[in-house]
């Protein structure tokens, strides 16, 4: 069996950043999958499920309502390893192309107050597993430490 692309990335060298994980074709449309890496794999603690779940709800709501990007958003959700998120967009993009969008999204998550969208038993299968204060904190940390002055090292997978 062939190794999937994400398993070929050296996670010991991977820093928090925004990476193009893969590009696929669906008919004539290119689908770009982004690796939104928030923690350094195998060096930092992973995020807890409650804040990941909260960020998933906030991020998906933000992206699917964004005036310029909502028609291109196919999926936003957490990585099983809890070190980040995947974002799938219809179109052929580079990591640099979405830096402004990611800044907007993480500002939204950092500053969000009130009732988390979709946080009810009728709307979510595990609505009790939410932690908005920690989601706010992690979004702010990523924004400040990664997105505000992002470098090529954090936009391209390590060799």
**Is residue 2 one of the residues assigned to a domain?**
no
Q: Decide: pTM greater than 0.85.
A: yes
**Is residue 3 one of the residues assigned to a domain?**
no
Kindly report the average pLDDT of the chain as a whole number.
Answer: 96
Q: How many angstroms separate the Cα of 25 from the Cα of each of 2, 19, 41, 97?
A: 19, 18, 29, 19
Helix (H, G, I), strand (E, B) or coil at 139: helix
- pLDDT at residue 88 greater than cutoff 90: yes
* Three-state SS annotation for 15-36: CCEEEEEEEEEECCEEEEEEEE
Return the pLDDT at 48.
96
Which letter, b or e, does each residue of 2-37 get, where b requires 16 or more Cβ atoms within 10 Å of its Cβ?
eeeebeebeeeebbbbbbbbeeeeeeeeebbbbbbb
Number of domains the chain is built from: 1
Q: Which residues contact 99 (CB under 8 A, 6 or more apart)?
A: 18, 147, 150, 155
Return the pLDDT at 5.
76
Task: Give the phi and the psi of residue 114 in degrees, each rounded to 5.
Answer: 100, -155
**Is residue 49 one of the residues assigned to a domain?**
yes
**Is residue 1 one of the residues assigned to a domain?**
no
In tens, the pLDDT along 95-116 reads 999 999 999 999 999 999 999 9
What is the domain-level CATH number for residue 108? 3.30.1360.80
Confidence grade of residue 159 (pLDDT, cut at 50, 70, 90):
confident
**Is residue 159 one of the residues assigned to a domain?**
no
In tens, the pLDDT along 13-56 reads 999 999 999 999 999 999 999 999 999 999 999 999 999 999 99
**Is residue 147 one of the residues assigned to a domain?**
yes
**Is residue 140 one of the residues assigned to a domain?**
yes
Which letter, b or e, does each residue of 68-94 get, where b requires 16 or more Cβ atoms within 10 Å of its Cβ?
ebeebbeebebbeebbbbbbbbeeebe
Whole-number percent of the chain with pLDDT over 70:
100
Helix (H, G, I), strand (E, B) or coil at 76: strand
**Is residue 4 one of the residues assigned to a domain?**
no
Q: Which residues contact 68 (CB under 8 A, 6 or more apart)?
A: none
Residue range of the domain that includes 123: 9-154
């Amino acid at each position: 069996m062939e190794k999937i692309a994400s398993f070929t990335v050296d996670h010991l060298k991977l820093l928090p950043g925004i990476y193009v994980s893969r590009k696929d074709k669906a008919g004539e449309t290119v689908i770009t999958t982004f690796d939104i890496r928030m923690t350094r794999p195998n060096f930092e603690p992973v995020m807890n499920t409650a804040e990941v779940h909260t960020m998933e709800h906030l991020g998906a709501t933000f992206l699917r309502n964004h005036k310029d990007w909502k028609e291109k958003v196919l999926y936003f959700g957490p990585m099983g390893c809890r070190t980040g998120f995947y974002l799938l967009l219809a179109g052929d993009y580079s990591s640099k192309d979405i830096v402004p969008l990611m800044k907007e999204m993480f500002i939204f998550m950092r500053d969000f107050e009130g009732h988390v969208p979709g946080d009810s038993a009728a709307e979510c299968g595990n609505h009790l597993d939410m932690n908005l204060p920690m989601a706010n904190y992690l979004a702010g940390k990523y924004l400040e430490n990664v997105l505000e002055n992002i470098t090529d090292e954090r936009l391209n997978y390590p060799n």
